[in-house]
Structure 1
Amino acid sequence: MNQIMPNNSKVSGHRSTLFSITLKPFLALVLILMISLGVKAENLVAVSTEDVKPLPGDVAVAKIWTYQQNLVAVDSRDNIWSFDQTTDKWDKKEIPFRGIVKGTAISADSTYLLMADPSTGWINRVESFGSSEQPQGYSMPMLPEPLKFAAASILDEKLFIVGTSAQGASKMLALDLSSDNAEWQNYPVWSGDGGVVTSVIAQTDRLQVTLKHEASTEEQMWQWLPKDGWQQRSILQGNVIEGTARSMGQGHALYLVTSADGSSVKVMSFQTITGAWAELERWDNHGTLSGTGWKKGILWVASANDQNGTQLGLAQVQSRQNLLSLTDWVILVVYLIAMLGMGLYFYLQQGQSSESNFFLGGRSIPFWAAGISIYASNASSISYIAVPAKAFATNWQYLMSNMILVLGLIFVAVWIVPLLRRLNLISVFHYLETRFHPSIRVISSILFIVFQLGGRMTVILYLPSLALSTVTGLDITMCILVMGFVTICYTVLGGMKAVIWTDVLQLFVMFGGTIFAIVFILMKLDGGTTEFISSALADDKFKMVDFSFNLTDATIWGFLFLVFFDTVLTFPKDQVLMQRVFSTSSAKEAGRSMWTFSAIVIPGSAMFYLIGTALYVFYQANPGRMDPSLSLDATFPLFISAELPVGVTGLIIAGIFAAAMSTLSSILNSVATVSTVDFYEKWFKTSDEKTNLRFAEIVTVVAGLIGIALALLLASYNVNSLLDVALELWGLLGGGFAGAYTLGMFTKRANWQGVIVGVTASFIVTFMAWTVDLVHPYFYMPLSVFVCIVVGYAASWFFPAPERLDGLTIYADQAGSKVQAADQ
C-alpha cells in the first residue's frame, strides 16, 4: 500500500494540469456552439427529369427492361432494340424477338422474362434474356400452372413470382437459380381476399409486394420475410405503373405512381424499414404506360403527342451532400489540435524516458482512466456508426450481448486480470511462452499484428471516412489521412499516457454528441418523448431477448456462448485491452479498471441503440428527409449533416473522429509494444532501452502508414469483400491461440504439445464450418476456442505434465519470478 501512494499522488498532481489544458479548448467549442446554433432546413433529395431519345420513326415500345444496366426494348413489330449511351442512339438488331413479355425480374447481371402463351395471354414460363444480339436465352421449367397476372423479383439466388392463377387464387412460386435441377416451389401467400399483384421487388432480406383490388384507387403494401412470413405494411394512395418498381440503396423502394384521379404521376419512395411513403416529385400525367428501373431512378414510357410511337423519360434521384459550415470546420480543427496538444504536452512533460513510460504510462494510470480507455478502445467509430444503423434497422437484441458481457467482466475482474497484472507483463503473449512454449508466443503475436493492421485498423479508418464523405462531401482520402496522421503524431509523442488521456477526453466528446442528438430528435418530434416511446413500442423496437435455439440468429443462447468463450475464458487474447490493465499500479487497481469498464458498457451501449431507435421514429415521421440512395450505415451521419444545428454537426463529426482515433492510437501503441517486446528485444538482446524506444517509435509510424495505405486502397478500389475476409480469417486462425489462454489459466494439466494439437484441430474444424456455412461468422471465434480447449486438454494427457506453474493459473496466488524477471 505504501508503494502505491507516491504513484497516486504523482498522478493527481499532473491530472489537474492535464485538465487545465484540455478544458480550455472544450469550453471554446461550447462558446462557438452557443453563438452559431441555427437549424438547417434545405430539401434533402431532389428528382431530376429528362427526355430519353425514343425509338426511331413512329415505332411504339411494347416492352422495355434493362440488361446489365443497358436499356433493351421490344417494339410493336417484335423488333428488338438496344440503347447505346455513348452515341445516344437506339440500335435495331437483326434477330426478331419471339413471344409476349408480361414482366421481368432483373438483377445486376441477369434478366428473366415472364413469357405468356399467345393463345391465352397467361404467363406459363420464364426465359432468361441472353443479350440484345441473342435475345432468346434458356428456358426455365414450366410454371406448375399459368398465371393471369404476376410480377417477379430475385432474392437470395431465388426467382420469386407472385401473381393470380387462372382460378383467381393468389400464388407465390420460387425457383432456386443456383441449382441446375431445381423445380418450382409453392410458398404461402398473404391473408385476405387476394388482389392483383402490381409489383414485386426484393430489398436486402425481404420482398415488397403491392396489391390492387378491382376499381380501387389505392394499393396495399405487403412485406414477406423468409423467417417471419407476410405482414401488411401500409396503404399507397394511387396505383403503381407497370414495371416501374425498383429497389434503391439498402432500405428503400422507388415507384412511379398515378394519382387517385389519374391526373398526375408521382415519384414515390417507400422506406422498407419504417414502412413510410414519401412523395419526391410530381408532374401531369400524359398517358404514362409502363417503365423500368434505370440508372439512379425510373425510365417511363408514355403515349406520344401525335398518337404514333411512344415517348421516353427518365426521373433520377439526386442526392445532396450537406457541406460543413465554417463553424463546423473550426470545431473540427480545434478538436484535432487539442489531440496533438495532448501528445505534445506529455512529450514535453517527461519525454519517453523508459519503455515503461511509452508502453504502460509508467504503470501509474488511475484505474478509472484505464477503464474508460478500455471502453473507448473497444467501441471505435464502427460502434458509433454501425450500432445506431443496426438499431434503426432491427431492434435491441444485440444489446443483450453487452448485458451478458458485464456478467463475464465481473469474473474477469475478480480472477483473470489480477492474475495477469501480478505477473508484471508488458506483452500479454509473453504469458503463452512462459506457460507453454516460445513458438506459441511468436505465432500468436504475428497473428495479432497482421489482424490489427490488415483488418481492424483498415476498417476503422475506412468505414467512417466512407460514411462521412457520402453525406457531407468530406473527401474520403482527406478523412483517412487526417485521422491517421494526427493519431500517429500524438501516439508517437505521448506514448501510452497520451493514448489513455485522449481516450478519456474523446469518450466525453462521443457521449456528449450522442446525448445531444437524442435530445434534439425528441424535441423535433411533434409528440416528444410520448411519440418516441409509443412508436418504438408499436413496432417492437425495444425487443432485446430471443430465446430460440438458432445459432444463425442473435439469440440469448448465442450471446451466452459467445461471451463465455470470447470474454470469460479468453479475455487476455487482446493486447490492446490488456495493455491498459497492465498500465495500472497494482493488481487491485487493475481489477478496479475492469469494474469501471463494466460500469460504462451498458449505459454507453444503450445510448447508441437509443439513437438508432430515435432515428427510426424520426424518419418514420419524416420519410422525405431520408436519402433513398444511401446505405443503412449512413443513417446517423446523414442525420448529423442534414438535421443538426450548425456547430453541433462539427462537434459530433469530431465525435466520430474521436471514436476512430481512440481505437487507432490503441492499436498503434499495442503493435509497437508487441513488435518491440516479442521480437526486437528477443532478436537483439544487447540493445539498450534508448534503442528499443526508438524502434518502438519507428514501428508506430510504419504501422500507421500501413493502415493508412490499406484504407486508401479500399477507398480507391472499393473492395469491401476484403473486410469480411479479414474478419473471418481472424476467427479461423486466431481462435485456437485464444483457447491457449484458457488451457493455461484454468488447467494445471495442459502442456505445450497439447496446445499445439488443440490449435491445429481448432483450425481444421473451423475451416470446415466456414466451407459449409455451418454457423454465422459471428461464431467462428467461440467455435475455434471450444475445439482448442477440448482437444488441447485431451491431447495434453498424452504428454508429460508441466513441472512449474507458480502464479500462472487461477489456482496459485503468487507470481512466478520467471515472468517478472523477463519483462521488468
Structure 2
Amino acid sequence: MAKQFGIWDWVVFGALLGISALIGVFYAIKSHYSANTDPTGEFLMGGRKMHLLPVSVSILVSFMSAITILGAPAEMYTAGTLYFLYILGLILACVVSATVFVPLFYPLRLTSSFEYLEGRFQSKVAKLTGALIMIVQQVVYMGIASFAPSTALEAVTGFPTWATIVTIGCVSTFYTFLGGMKAVVWTDVFQSTIMVAGLLAIVIQGIFKVGSFNEVWKINKEWDRIDFWEADPDPTVRHSVWSLIIGTAVTWTGAFGVSQASVQRFCAVETFKKAKASVLINIIGCIVLVVLASLAGVVMFAYYAQSGCDPLSAKEVSNANQLIPYFVMEILGYPGLPGLFVSCLFSGALSTMSSCLNALAAVCWEDVFKPLIGEKVSESTKTWITRVLVAVFGGAGIGFAFMAKNLGGTVLQASLSFTGAATGPLLGIFLLGGLFPWANAAGCVVGGILGLVMGMWVSFGAYSLPRSGFPLDFPVENCSLPMVYNNATASSTSATLSVVQHFYTVSYLWFSSIGTATTVIAGLLVSLCTAPCFPKQDVDPKYLIPLFDRLFCCFPESWRRLCRCG
C-alpha cells in the first residue's frame, strides 16, 4: 500500500470514537438528573417520545452498516451492475413493513416484539422461542458487522484485526450501556452523516480520477459490467431479477417489519402516523446509501481498468472485502480523507452493534427477567439489569466477530446468508400468528425451530462447498504478477455434487425465504395435527393482519370486501 494513515487521519478517526462515547455520557447524565418515574422504559424506549427523523435514521443504519459499505462496492466490482436491482427489493420491503406490520405492532405498545407472540398464542414458550431465534440472529449479525471494518483497517493501516474488533465492541457497548435508546438513536444520526460523507468522497474523487462519469460508464460497459436483467428462474443462479427483488424483499421485510431493532424504534415515537412514516422514510435512505455504495464499486472498476491492473489478480489485497479501502488509500490523498473513510466504516459497525445491543437487552428484560423478578426489585435495579445485559451481549458480539474471520466471500454475502437464515423463521412465526387464526402455539414453536434449523443448515452447507473463480474478466495487462483469478478455467463442481449439495448451491438471497416458508408450512401442519390438544380459542382481532385491507387500502371498499377471506 503506497499511502498510510497520517496524523490527520487518526485525528478524524479518534474524533468519531470520542464523539460517539460522549453522546452516551451526555444521555447518562441527563437521565440521572431527570425526574422520570420509569427509568427502565426511558433506557429501552426513550420514554416513547422519540422524534420521527432520528428514529427513521436509526432504523436505517441499524441494518445498513459497514457490511454495505464494503460489500456493495465489492459486489459491483466483481459481478457487475445487476446488484442495483437489490434496491427494488428494499423499497418493496419498506412498503410491506409499513402497511402490514406497523399497524399490527404499534397499537399493542410493545417493548419486545415477542410480547405479541405470547398474546397471540397464549403461550410463554412461543414467546421464548421467538426470543431465542432473535438472540441467535442478532449475535451473528453483530459479529459480522464488527468484523467487516477490521479487515479494511488492517489493509490500509496495519492496525491489527483483533484490536479493531475489540475497539468497536467496547465503544458501542460503552455508550449503549450509559445512554440507552436515546444515545443509540442520536449516535446513529451522527454516524449516518459520516457514512454518507465518506461514500460521497469516494465517488466524487474516483470520478475525477477517471475523467468523467460518462467515461466510468463507458469502461464498465466495455468490460461487460453493465447488466440489469437476468431472469433465469433457476434458484441456484447467484443473482437474478427474482432473487434480488423477491428474495431481498422477504429478507428485509423481516428486518424492517418484525425485527426487534425496528419494532422497538417505531414503537418509541408518539403517534401511529409517525411510526408508519419512520419506516417509509427508509426508502429514501436505502436508495441513497445503496446507490452511493454501488457507484463506488463501478467507479473503482473503471479506475483499475484504466490502470490495467486488478488488485485482486495482482494479490495487492487478499480478498474482495479489502478492495474499497485499498482504492481509498490510492485516490484520497488529502490529509484526513482516508481517516474519514475508515470512520465511515466504523460508523456503520458502531451503529449496527449498538442497535443490536439495545434490542437484545430489551428482549431479555421484557421476555425473561421481567416476568421472574419485575415486581421484586426497584426501578434503579431494573435499569442496572438492562445495562448488565448490554455488557454481556457486547462480549458475545466481540466473540462471534473473531469467529467471523473464517468466513469466505464478501461480508455482504456472509451477512445476508447467516442473518437471513435466522430472519426467515422470525418473519415466518409472525406471519403464522397474524395471517392464520387456526395456527396454535405448538405450530409456532415447532415451525420456528424447524425454520431456523433449515435456514442455518443451508447457510453452513453452502459455505462448506468449494468456491469457483469470479465469472467476469479483470484487467491484468499491466500487473507485475501473474494472474491469480483465471476466470476462463474457473472450476465448476456442479457435475460432482450430490443431491444434498445441489441444495446448498441455492442463491444466498433465498435463504431467508426458505426459512420463512419452512416455518409457515411446518407451523400450519403441526397446528392441524395438534388441534385436538388445544381448545379452540377466538383470536382477538388486534393480533391478526387484515391483509387485503392493508395491502389494498386505496381500493374501493366494495372491491376489498370481495377479496376478504371469511
Q: Report the AA paired with residue 223 of structure 2.
A: D
- Separation of aligned partners in 1, 2:177 and 2:457: 42
Kept after mapping to 2: 8 A contact 1:389/1:635: yes
Residues 389, 426 of structure 1: alpha-carbon distance in 2 compared, 3 angstrom cutoff: same
Kept after mapping to 2: 8 A contact 1:572/1:741: no
Kept after mapping to 1: 8 A contact 2:254/2:426: no
Name structure 2 gaps, 5 residues minimum.
Answer: 462-499, 550-566
- Separation of aligned partners in 1, 2:301 and 2:218: 12
- In the alignment, is residue 377 of structure 1 matched against residue 98 of structure 2? no
- Separation of aligned partners in 2, 1:348 and 1:778: 44
- 2:50 is paired with a residue whose SS is coil
- Separation of aligned partners in 2, 1:732 and 1:432: 20
Aligned to 2:272: 587
Deviation at residue 409 of structure 1 after TM alignment: 1.6
Kept after mapping to 1: 8 A contact 2:49/2:270: yes
Q: Report the AA paired with residue 233 of structure 2.
A: F
Q: Report the AA paired with residue 772 of structure 1.
A: Q
| Equivalenced residues, count | 489
- 2:382 is paired with a residue whose SS is helix
Q: Deviations over 1:53-94 (max 9, x none)?
A: xxxxxxxxxxxxxxxxxxxxxxxxxxxxxxxxxxxxxxxxxx
Kept after mapping to 1: 8 A contact 2:104/2:544: yes
- In the alignment, is residue 457 of structure 1 matched against residue 188 of structure 2? no
Kept after mapping to 2: 8 A contact 1:714/1:720: no
Q: Deviations over 1:493-515 (max 9, x none)?
A: 21111111111111111111111
RMSD: 2.7
Q: Report the AA paired with residue 707 of structure 1.
A: G
Deviation at residue 324 of structure 1 after TM alignment: 0.8
Q: Deviations over 1:631-668 (max 9, x none)?
A: 22111111222321221111111111101101011011
Deviation at residue 713 of structure 1 after TM alignment: 6.0
Kept after mapping to 2: 8 A contact 1:321/1:472: no
- Equivalent residues in 2 for 1:587-626, closer than 5 Å: 587-623=272-308, 626=311
Aligned to 1:811: 546
- In the alignment, is residue 698 of structure 1 matched against residue 427 of structure 2? no
Q: Which has the larger radius of gyration?
A: 1
- Separation of aligned partners in 2, 1:668 and 1:730: 16
Residues 654, 609 of structure 1: alpha-carbon distance in 2 compared, 3 angstrom cutoff: same
- In the alignment, is residue 466 of structure 1 matched against residue 180 of structure 2? no
Structure 2 counterpart of 1:337, from 12, 15, 18: 18
Q: Report the AA paired with residue 265 of structure 2.
A: R
Aligned to 1:772: 501
Q: Percent identity?
A: 25
Q: Report the AA paired with residue 691 of structure 1.
A: T
Aligned to 1:361: 46
Q: Report the AA paired with residue 430 of structure 2.
A: Y
- Equivalent residues in 2 for 1:469-488, closer than 5 Å: 469-488=154-173
Deviation at residue 381 of structure 1 after TM alignment: 0.6
- Separation of aligned partners in 2, 1:577 and 1:551: 29
Residues 513, 564 of structure 1: alpha-carbon distance in 2 compared, 3 angstrom cutoff: closer
Kept after mapping to 2: 8 A contact 1:569/1:741: no
- Separation of aligned partners in 1, 2:235 and 2:307: 36
Aligned to 2:478: none
Q: Deviations over 1:433-481 (max 9, x none)?
A: 111121121122123223322x221211123102210232122222222
Structure 2 counterpart of 1:787, from 512, 518, 527: 518
Q: Hey, which of these two has a bigger chunk of helix by percent?
A: 2
Aligned to 1:550: 234
Q: Report the AA paired with residue 450 of structure 1.
A: V
- Separation of aligned partners in 2, 1:382 and 1:726: 7
Deviation at residue 391 of structure 1 after TM alignment: 0.7
Aligned to 2:6: 325
Residues 350, 477 of structure 1: alpha-carbon distance in 2 compared, 3 angstrom cutoff: same
Structure 1 counterpart of 2:116, from 408, 421, 431: 431
Structure 1 counterpart of 2:354, from 637, 652, 665: 665
Kept after mapping to 2: 8 A contact 1:731/1:780: yes
- 1:807 is paired with a residue whose SS is helix
Q: Hey, which of these two has a bigger chunk of strand by percent?
A: 1
Structure 2 counterpart of 1:347, from 8, 28, 45: 28
- Separation of aligned partners in 1, 2:180 and 2:241: 40
- Separation of aligned partners in 2, 1:625 and 1:707: 34
Q: Deviations over 1:402-427 (max 9, x none)?
A: 21321232122123112201100000
Deviation at residue 583 of structure 1 after TM alignment: 1.5
- 1:636 is paired with a residue whose SS is helix
- Separation of aligned partners in 2, 1:478 and 1:777: 30
Residues 508, 744 of structure 1: alpha-carbon distance in 2 compared, 3 angstrom cutoff: same
Kept after mapping to 2: 8 A contact 1:681/1:687: no
Residues 362, 614 of structure 1: alpha-carbon distance in 2 compared, 3 angstrom cutoff: same
Q: Deviations over 1:343-372 (max 9, x none)?
A: 122222223851221111111122221111
- 1:584 is paired with a residue whose SS is coil
- Separation of aligned partners in 1, 2:207 and 2:66: 24
Greater RCO (Cα-Cα under 8 Å, separation 6 or more): 2
- 2:54 is paired with a residue whose SS is helix
- Separation of aligned partners in 1, 2:297 and 2:160: 25
Deviation at residue 533 of structure 1 after TM alignment: 2.1
Aligned to 2:198: 513
Q: Report the AA paired with residue 349 of structure 2.
A: A
- 1:583 is paired with a residue whose SS is coil
* Greater Cα offset, 802-811 or 420-429: 802-811
Structure 1 counterpart of 2:216, from 532, 541, 564: 532
- In the alignment, is residue 650 of structure 1 matched against residue 306 of structure 2? no
Structure 1 counterpart of 2:188, from 486, 499, 503: 503
